[in-house]
Copies of this chain bind each other. A is one copy, B any other.
């Protein structure tokens, strides 16, 4: 169904989407997995294949294992990755568009810091963009698809 939201509804949706993304970041960094699950649609899809790789880098690329289908797979993947370390994820000025079909797109610049407790690296600092779509489910805007692209990744040896 094609809808034409009023300018006010448009702004309310944009602010709601900003809050959802803020919760995504806070949930990851405070390891609050129920809160993290709540920001995704049930059938959400995340593509983290570029999460650990600079553009043009010779380090191994992500594989299809870094594409997650469904909220449960997404939470299990993020939980496994972040549980053994300290993480900081920050999102910056987004470009959000509310579309006529009731969905939305967003591009979020981001940077993250992973501090490892063991292994060959002390920390990773990454910089990139999230490319996302949002949809309302159970009365709230939620992340429907997410793809992370990178500008740069810095690895500091232990």
Residues of A within 8 A of B (CB): 7-8, 10-12, 14-15, 18-19, 21-23, 25-26, 29-30, 86-88, 90-96, 107, 109, 111, 113, 115, 127, 129, 151-152
Contact = CB atoms under 8 A, between A and B. Distances in A.
The complex is assembled from copies of this chain, and their number is: 3
A88 B151 contact: yes
Contacts of A92: 22, 25, 90-93
Contacts of A127: 88, 113
Looking at A10, A30, A152, the one whose CB has the most chain B CB atoms below 10 A away is: A152
A86 B21 contact: no
Contacts of A93: 18, 21-22, 25, 90-92, 94
Contact of A26 (B87, B111, B129): B129
